[in-house]
Structure 1
Amino acid sequence: MNDGTPLNGTPAADPDLLYSAEEDALRDAVRSLLADRSDPATVLAGLESPAAYDTGLWRALATDIGAAGLLVPEELGGAGASAREAAVVLEETGRCVAPVPYLTSAVIAVTALLGCDLGQADVAAPLAALAGGGTVGVLAVPLPTAPGGPATPTVRAAADGALTGRVTSVADAAGAGLLLVPAEGPDGPALYAVEAAADGVRTDSVTPLDLTRPLGHLTFGGAHGRLLATGDRARTAVAHALLTGAGLLASEQLGVAEWCLAETVRHTAERTQFGRPVGSFQALKHRMAALWLEVASARAAARNAADALATGSADAPVAVAVAQAYCAPVAVRAAQECIQLHGGIGMTWEHPAHLFLKRAKSDELALGSPGRHRAALAGLVALDAPQLSTPLSS
């Protein structure tokens, strides 16, 4: 892999890790909205709200800015953009741990639908609804599910489309209007669309570590679903949705790490001891410099994954595995350093640092743990399993 040759033997184009002018403009718009509507104080104030997500913020982001339809083709009501633009949005939502279902609905659910037959009315209609931001969709798989999908779906489908079974720990399930349910049908794997309010569907909310991304258990007791895809098409649609979600989750983790680093630098420049800013102490400067290098490397890994997904590179699975194996631990480390270098105030509920640690820890397990991605990477590049004992950052 070091010679730039991807898995299919075709020379790969050099990845573009820079941001285009259009991406910078999108970032400015999203950052301005979030600074006004989702600053840390606002997120803290609404943390224990019974609402599944901030509906006003989601409407502004999804509909007014049009972020919900970035990955949707223009002919279906979307922007016809790519994973690169969606990654920019996720960097900014990660930077303020915004309580919106962008990753689950606008990325994972949309990508799953795009993997189905777009000529079907049962596919085109919900895709247009998700693109408009009026409906929130989720792929009904447990949040820790890694790319490749669940080995065996826990939901069974009868010949008439009646679904039975239970799926646990589905992110943003409580606020979803549309459920995309992988199931084992009469003819093998299948993907169904089910209205969350339909008879035979029950959603039980659970208290997650990260209160800004609620989890729910879904129980299907004979709910009737609309068939979207079967066989290899269904399996591929789910697998690609999870791969895309994992790859772009790295951008959210990057945003978390960037906020933590910037906030730590700001605080240590203002906090004084012995008549000088604590940030001027050599030991703290070394810790922040080391963290800056890790964040810079995480940015490269996340951008590489987004670019590989956007261009349809054959090396996308490798890029995603590298990004998740590296960015997840960096986000956790950045959040831990943020709390430690804030001293006593960093340990309080009133300071937002705990929001970022909880999001970082939750993201570390989402869509496959770093260890799971290192194992996948070993298989993709034909490394022996014992080499996994060496951290990627060493």
Structure 2
Amino acid sequence: MTAQTEETVTPDLLYSEAEDDLRSAVRSLLADRSDAPTVIARIESDTPYDPQLWKALAADIGAAGLLVPEKLGGQGASHREAAVILEELGRSVAPAPYLTSAVVATETLLALGDEDGPVAGIVGELAAGRKVAVLAVPFSATAATPTVSGTLDGTVIAVADAVAADLLLVPTADGLYAVGTDDAGVSVEPLVALDLTRPLATVTLTGATGTRLADAEAAGSAVRRGLLAGAGLLASEQLGIAEWCLTETVRYTRERHQFNRPVGSFQALKHRMAQLWLEVVSARAAARNAADALATGSPDAPLAVAVAQAYCSRVAVHAAEECVQLHGGIGMTWEHPAHLYLKRAKADSIAYGTAGHHRGAIAELVELPAP
């Protein structure tokens, strides 16, 4: 293998200066508009979404169009920049339909390759932050299985962020359709979900009409690409969750005293936090590798995504559990945000496939025989 080939296949796990600047802008926005008390107050209301926050993030910062080429009205960036956005959204557990709309739905549409038809118009609206679209599949979906009949009749359960969507991308046996959530024959019924910061809903279509965007074969390929990107960048959100939990736990155990000593000075707690730090560092490498593989169109992207999900989902849950436990009594209260991170981590652990599903995918990709 030549040096040039090695350089081509070596993933870049470091953050660029532009990515660091993007992170600073997003973190500042979320600290101002979506701090812990604000998020807790919003999930107790009828809707957790803040339209002004979404406008600032999607349109003003331009985050919604990161994956969209400039000729279609986007920023012409890559999955690496989108991963930075999701890290920060994970750190704040902000209720924003970024993963579902700006990543999964957008990536699905881009995979159709229609630069002059209705797809281009939809992509432009999403990139500008004027509309939100979600793929009408269960949040746990890992494949492009038609869930609605060709006449746009059927029910899809547990569609993430459907209550915030203007447009549904509906995969059917006949192809992929775009259907407005306000159209006749479309019902979006909110569900009581574990993670209130990313609401789920049941979508029911009864004789609905929509715009056919692609035939069944093209739709299947596009949805697979969208779900792959969603799973890969979800790892970055899980990384953000784990990083916040570790940082907050270290801070709290330094300040909380028992027997006239900071509780963080006790050897047993030091070991637990050191172990968690090692897991978070490894999760960062896995998440960055997945984002870089998606950004470069690497043939190893499915493997990188499967590895990231198999590892990062467990780390996020472990970090959130440690955060709750090491905060003691205050960590069990509704007023402290630890429960938001635990619920988001648990919900994310089954999104776009469980860790077990992704371990099975790894085994297939590396041709590892079953025991």
TM-score by length of 1: 0.92
1:73 aligns with 2:69: yes
Q: Deviations over 1:165-209 (max 9, x none)?
A: 111100000110010000011xxxx11111110001011110100
State the Cα RMSD in Å: 1.5
User: 1:246-265 counterparts in 2 under 5 A?
Assistant: 246-265=231-250
Partner of 1:391: none
Residue type at the aligned position of 1:312: G
Q: Note if contact 1:194-1:224 (Cα within 8 Å) is conserved in structure 2.
A: yes
Q: 2:191 aligns with which of 198, 206, 218?
A: 206
Residue type at the aligned position of 2:280: V
1:339 aligns with 2:324: yes
- Name the SS for the 1:105 alignment partner: helix
- Name the SS for the 2:169 alignment partner: strand
- Name the SS for the 1:295 alignment partner: helix
1:116 aligns with 2:109: no
Stretch deviating more after TM superposition (115-124 or 87-96): 115-124
Partner of 1:29: 25
Runs of 4+ in 1 over 3 A off after TM superposition: 9-12
Distance 2:288 2:92 in 1: 19
Q: Deviations over 1:154-175 (max 9, x none)?
A: 20114xxxx1111110000011
Distance 2:232 2:6 in 1: 22
Q: Note if contact 1:109-1:139 (Cα within 8 Å) is conserved in structure 2.
A: yes
Residue type at the aligned position of 1:300: A
Q: CA deviation at 1:12?
A: 6.0
Gaps of 5+ in 2: none
Distance 1:41 1:11 in 2: 46
| Count of matched residue positions in the alignment of Structure 1 and Structure 2 | 369
- Name the SS for the 1:138 alignment partner: strand
Q: Deviations over 1:113-145 (max 9, x none)?
A: 101132342101110000011101000000001
- Name the SS for the 2:235 alignment partner: helix
Partner of 2:156: 167
Residue type at the aligned position of 1:156: S
Q: Note if contact 2:144-2:171 (Cα within 8 Å) is conserved in structure 1.
A: no
Distance 1:143 1:220 in 2: 18
TM-score by length of 2: 0.97
% identity of equivalent residues: 65
Q: 1:38 aligns with which of 30, 34, 39?
A: 34
Q: CA deviation at 1:370?
A: 0.2
Distance 2:82 2:147 in 1: 30
CA 1:10–1:279 in 2, change beyond 3 Å: closer, same or farther?
closer
Partner of 2:144: 149
Q: Deviations over 1:320-361 (max 9, x none)?
A: 000000000000000000000000110111100000000000
Distance 2:188 2:269 in 1: 47
Partner of 2:350: 365
Q: Note if contact 1:375-1:385 (Cα within 8 Å) is conserved in structure 2.
A: no
